[in-house]
């Protein structure tokens, strides 16, 4: 048989075999050569499912997918049930990359551990976008779509200091040392304390992102520090556990609680005066802008940059503000704007 004909037949047989197996070959490179026009599958993975914050991320991601022009965008939403389950998230993301998703939009439960997951996904031709929390190191081609946690923490702590009149005892409830969000919220908090030496940090214990743990931790702190004036809690479970402990101790209004996130029960605590202020992030925009960034990168080979999704300090005084309401109860028809 002619050698040229043999080569052509072999190539044709190989193409048929790949098609029968459902294999996809994606070329990399610049410009249109690396773009993809067909239906896209995006894995959107929060730190954990079952929390109001991450549910708003899902709503934002699905909104972006529904609005995308051109071919269908399929969102595959999945996550572990506890933010401390780092190995579970590693397995989940690794499986998504192996299954051949076009992109992964995810929040890293552990900055250092998840760095390898991002690199391996990129090596397999998967576009990666981080939301809420990035990795260490952060690959240069992977943007972070998130709150400026240091700046927001500084604003919240300045409010706390003002509420105390510049002096008093404060306790800090972090949630998971080693995650970018925890560590940057700690940084902003302690930056302000350094500038206010009359505000004394008397206790620091982690909630492990568990409301029941936060409740127990706060009860212990209250027992050990009967003159405590304020609590700074770095995420939703910490705020809810701290608020419940203060209620049980009958110290509502006596102890200033400033914290993060805006789950319905947290907002209710603000309305009741148990919690003084909450840092409202913009999880809808994280899901929305993160999904759009991934689609842009896949379809047009766009060079992506970090996006600051903004934050708002929510108090009793601004709960009825329309812009605050849009952040607290976002929808595709009433998208919250980015406020900083």
Domain that holds residue 199: 149-280
Q: Are residues 261 and 166 in the same domain?
A: yes
318 part of a folded domain: no
26 part of a folded domain: no
Q: Are residues 288 and 140 in the same domain?
A: yes
| Closest-CA residue to 217 (of 273, 172, 164) | 172
pLDDT at site 8: 34
Rounded to whole angstroms, the Cα distance separating 255 from 45 reads 36
pLDDT at site 36: 58
Which of 280, 297, 330 is the C-terminal boundary of a domain?
280
What is the per-residue pLDDT across 240-287, written as a single tens digit (0 to 9) for each?
999 999 999 999 999 999 999 999 999 999 999 999 999 999 999 999
| Closest-CA residue to 38 (of 301, 298, 287) | 298
pLDDT at site 37: 62
Q: Are residues 185 and 94 in the same domain?
A: no
Largest CA distance in the chain: 93
Residues sharing a CB contact under 8 Å with residue 118, sequence separation 6 or more, in sequence order: 128, 130, 135, 139, 142
pLDDT at site 69: 81
Q: Are residues 202 and 290 in the same domain?
A: no
Q: Are residues 201 and 129 in the same domain?
A: no
200 part of a folded domain: yes
Rounded to whole angstroms, the Cα distance separating 71 from 51 reads 31
The DSSP H or E segment spanning 199 is strand 199-204
155 part of a folded domain: yes
Q: Is 100 left (phi over 0), alpha (psi -120 to 50) or beta?
A: left
What is the per-residue pLDDT across 7-43, written as a single tens digit (0 to 9) for each?
333 334 333 333 333 323 222 222 333 455 679 999 9
Rounded to whole angstroms, the Cα distance separating 159 from 155 reads 6
Q: Are residues 155 and 275 in the same domain?
A: yes
Q: Are residues 265 and 298 in the same domain?
A: no
| Closest-CA residue to 285 (of 227, 338, 339) | 338
Low-confidence ranges of the chain (pLDDT < 50): 1-34, 340
122 part of a folded domain: yes
Total domains, the chain: 2
CATH code (residue 301): 3.40.50.2300
| Closest-CA residue to 89 (of 98, 78, 77, 80) | 80
> CA 164 → CA 125, 152, 219, 253, 255, distances in Å?
52, 19, 21, 12, 10
Q: Are residues 131 and 176 in the same domain?
A: no
Q: Are residues 274 and 178 in the same domain?
A: yes
By the 8 A CB rule, do 257 and 198 touch? Answer: no
Statement: the pTM of the whole predicted model exceeds 0.85 = no
Q: Are residues 138 and 94 in the same domain?
A: yes
5 part of a folded domain: no
Q: Are residues 202 and 236 in the same domain?
A: yes
């Amino acid at each position: 048989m002619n050698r040229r004909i043999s080569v052509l037949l072999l190539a044709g047989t190989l193409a048929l075999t790949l098609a029968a197996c459902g294999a996809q070959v994606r070329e990399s490179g610049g410009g249109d050569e690396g773009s993809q026009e067909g239906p896209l599958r995006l894995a959107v993975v929060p730190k954990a499912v079952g929390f109001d914050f991450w549910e708003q991320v899902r709503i934002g991601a699905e909104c972006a997918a529904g609005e995308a022009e051109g071919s269908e965008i399929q969102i595959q939403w999945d996550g572990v049930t506890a933010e401390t389950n780092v190995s579970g998230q590693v397995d989940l993301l690794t499986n998504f990359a192996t299954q051949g998703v076009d992109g992964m939009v995810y929040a890293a439960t552990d900055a250092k551990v998840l760095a390898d997951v991002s690199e391996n996904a990129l090596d397999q031709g998967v576009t990666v976008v981080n939301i809420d929390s990035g990795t260490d190191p952060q690959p240069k081609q992977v943007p972070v779509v998130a709150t400026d946690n240091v700046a927001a923490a500084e604003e919240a702590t300045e409010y706390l200091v003002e509420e105390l009149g510049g002096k008093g005892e404060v306790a800090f409830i972090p949630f998971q040392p080693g995650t970018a969000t925890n560590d940057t919220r700690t940084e902003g908090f302690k930056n302000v304390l350094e500038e206010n030496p009359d505000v004394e940090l008397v206790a620091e214990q982690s909630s492990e992102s568990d409301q029941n743990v936060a409740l127990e931790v706060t009860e212990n702190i209250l027992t050990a520090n009967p003159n405590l004036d304020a609590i700074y809690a770095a995420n939703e479970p910490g705020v809810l556990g701290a608020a419940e402990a203060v209620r049980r101790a009958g110290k509502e209004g006596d102890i200033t609680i400033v914290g993060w996130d805006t789950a319905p029960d947290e907002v209710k605590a603000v309305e009741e005066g148990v919690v003084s202020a909450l840092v409202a992030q913009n999880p809808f925009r994280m899901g929305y802008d993160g999904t759009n960034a991934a689609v842009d990168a896949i379809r047009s080979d766009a060079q992506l940059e970090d996006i600051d999704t903004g934050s708002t300090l929510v108090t009793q005084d601004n709960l009825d503000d329309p812009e605050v309401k849009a952040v607290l109860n976002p929808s595709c028809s009433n998208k919250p704007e980015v406020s900083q």
